[in-house]
Homo-oligomer: A and B are copies of this chain.
Amino acid sequence: MTDIRPLILITNDDSIHAPGLLRLVDCMPQDADVIVVAPAEPHSGQSSAITVGAPLRIRQLDDYGTARMFTVSGTPVDCVKLALSAIVPRRPDLVLAGINHGSNSGCNVVYSGTMGAVMEGCVVGITSCGFSLLHHSMKADFSMGMPFIKEIVAELLRRPLPDGICLNVNIPARVVPEGVRVCRAARGRWTDEYERYTDPLGNPFYWLTGRFVNAEPDATDTDEYWLSRNYISAVPVAVDMTARDEVEFLAPRFDTK
């Protein structure tokens, strides 16, 4: 292993034009080869969506420092799949996504294109991690979390994650983080989700909005708890969503003789 430089594949869901993507590249170790394969257009909220029944294009852009830069005309998961099939010269040691402009804590992991890309890396057995800043602005300041990202990436390169497990890292905004805490995702949901409008012809249309409500405000072991105390949260996520414990409980109800 000493004669081969680690290869790190980086993507995101905010597109190749998002500043957070370059800040993640800035966190990579000097001795790594870095290949960025990001969506040509923004794909927030795309979860693990894949492009079915339509062609995809790859475009190579100018290098960013020593990082090679590509776009794919699809979703974050398309980026990872097509990068692994047609772009990378060898199997990456890490798949990273981010730094996302906005939170992926709590149940937001379900909708997150950032974490969709990370789960895809994990499905194919590569140590994978997503990074998100709790600030939506394209002008957000990522600098205060970057020393912690460097440490996390170094640890991921030293020792891979367990098989089938990836990491969802969220970073508080506008503060120097107090530190990092591995924790579980807070349960919660979105409420007041749609704004209703009427178009000039008198027909209604709807626009997604809403706010996230933490269903466990008193729990002290969740990502929401630690983020609210200015810590970085790191949630281990399983790509196998089977609720193992429930198999035996539900079998008597649904199994036929």
- Evaluate contact between B182 and A250: CB separation under 8 angstroms: yes
- A interface, how many residues as a size bin? 35 or more
In contact, B179 and A50 (Cβ under 8 angstroms): no
**Minimum CB–CB distance for A47 against chain B, Å:** 4
Task: Indicate if the CB atoms of A234 and B254 lie closer than 8 Å.
Answer: yes
A176 CB within 8 Å of chain B: no
Check A55–B207 contact: CB distance below 8 A. Answer: yes
A240: chain B residues within 8 A (beta carbon): 107, 184-185, 187
Inter-chain contact A206/B56, CB cutoff 8 Å: yes
Which of B54, B181, B221, B236 contacts A255 (CB under 8 A)?
A: B181
A39-67 vs B: 1/0 string, CB under 8 Å?
Answer: 00000111111111111111000000000
Contact A194 B86 (CB under 8 A): yes
A182/B255 in contact, CB under 8 A = yes
Query: Min CB distance, A195 to chain B, in Å?
Result: 9
A162 at the interface (CB under 8 A from B): yes
A110 at the B interface (CB under 8 A): yes
Cβ of A241 under 8 Å from chain B:
yes
- The 22 sampled A-B contact pairs (Cβ below 8 Å) are A45-B49, A47-B116, A48-B48, A48-B110, A48-B111, A49-B111, A55-B207, A56-B207, A57-B206, A58-B204, A86-B196, A107-B240, A110-B119, A110-B239, A152-B254, A167-B250, A179-B257, A181-B251, A234-B254, A237-B242, A238-B246, A241-B241
Give A250's nearest chain B residue, CB to CB. B182
Which of A24-32, A77-85, A138-146 lines the interface with chain B?
A77-85
Are A194 and B159 in contact, with the CB atoms below 8 A? Answer: no
Q: Answer whether A109 and B255 are a contact pair too, CB < 8 Å, given A49-B45, A58-B206, A165-B246.
A: no
